[in-house]
Amino acid sequence: MLDKLKGLEKRFDEINEKLTDINVINDQEQYKNLMKELKNLNPIIDKYREYKTASDDYEEAKAMLDEGGLDKDFKEMVQAQFEENKALIEKYTDELKILLLPKDPDDDKNVIIEIRGGAGGDEAALFANSLYRMYTMYAQLKGWKMEVINSNPTELGGYKEISFSVEGEGAYAKLKYESGVHRVQRVPETETQGRIHTSTITVAVLPEVEEVDVEINPADLEFQTYRSSGAGGQHINKTESAIRIIHHPTGVVVECQEERSQHKNKDKAMKMLYSKLYEAKLNEQTSKIARERKIQVGTGDRSERIRTYNYPQSRVTDHRIGLTLYKLEAMLNGDCDEVFEALAIADKAAKLAASNEN
């Protein structure tokens, strides 16, 4: 590990030197790539330098203790320095192991999220709207941009399904653990007996990918146009601006009806298609690993019940990591970082444990 860190520090210094070169500064693409690499290295090098300082102080204290001849008060001070830096070395070593774990190459990508009502009919559709609002408010807090791709609203103000894109730095890294079944327990407004109902919705989080990430044969695609339906504006049911794309080899179907322009709807639908095919490609590559080892925090199994939102107790429970918080209203208003960060930490810990086994 230390040899790898020395190499990374050398690279870190090389990049800083290159960034002062006028030729590099004038080459926007090279400059952008170097800045991105530097940003990724920063936390590792900062922690490594803290580790080196603690290691130097530890060795200095150890040498003084080994040499002996210290008066009582000074020896106690040196002993305290020795113990403190020994603990810091252990702490920094564990943190460096996590920082050196391979980074998910999709973490910096934008995302496409699909929310679909499951069991519970109208109540599930209303909760789909609640989760859409939660993600919208979280995105606003992060300064991200959101745009609806396709929606199927209900008369009561819910959604049978809604898909939307989220653009912003680290969007996939934060939101990727949201894939799965979300369960809500609450008393519906239409329930006269005051009984608690349980409903479910499914969420899928897809990294938004470029065309170069997935090959699509145009001959495999079928394009259909239809009139938009539901809420959306004056053009509804007047023009066939909505687009449906069918990818015949996989059976994947995507739709977009949110824009007035058929061309814009087609562009959005193609983005979603690329992301869905990319997800299928990744799932195929990782299925063998998933079968061999049960990963504590998953991102691909949409049938897994991942979280329960209990309204009577104002309770949110993430079942994957056993986390329970009594802050339902705050979370539904976009205060999600405590849960999202706990999931990321648990995922890294699981991957670190797996790497230690090998």
CA–CA dist 121, 58 (Å, integer): 63
Closest CA to 119 of 163, 178, 160, 157: 160
Mean pLDDT (whole number) for 333-340:
95
pLDDT at 296 over 70: no
Cα separation values, 301 from 99, 142, 172, 214, 288, Å? 26, 26, 16, 21, 14
- How high is the pLDDT of residue 288? 46
CA angle 282, 349, 144 (to 5 degrees): 60
**pTM (whole model) above 0.75:** no
- How high is the pLDDT of residue 45? 95
- How high is the pLDDT of residue 258? 77
Residue type, 343: L
Residue 2: what are its φ and ψ, rounded to 5°? -65, -35
**Residues 238-263: b if buried by 16+ CB within 10 A, e if exposed:** eeebbbbbbbeeeeeebbbbbbeebe
**Structure tokens given for 14:** 């090389």
**Structure tokens given for 341:** 């960060």
Give the residue extent of every domain in the chain. Answer: 2-99, 111-292+299-352
Can you state the angle between helices 337-357 and 72-99, rounded to 10 degrees? Answer: 90
Helix, strand, coil abundance in the chain, percent, nearest 5: 50, 20, 30
pLDDT level of residue 191 (50, 70, 90 thresholds): low
Partners of 325 in the β-ladder:
316
CATH class as words, domain 111-292+299-352: alpha beta
pLDDT mean across residues, the chain:
85
CA–CA dist 190, 298 (Å, integer): 35
117-139 pLDDT, tens digit per residue, is 888 788 899 999 999 999 999 99
Partners of 173 in the β-ladder:
none
Cα separation values, 260 from 146, 232, 234, 256, 257, Å? 18, 9, 9, 10, 8
Q: Are 166 and 334 in contact (CB under 8 A)?
A: no
Q: Are 155 and 232 in contact (CB under 8 A)?
A: no
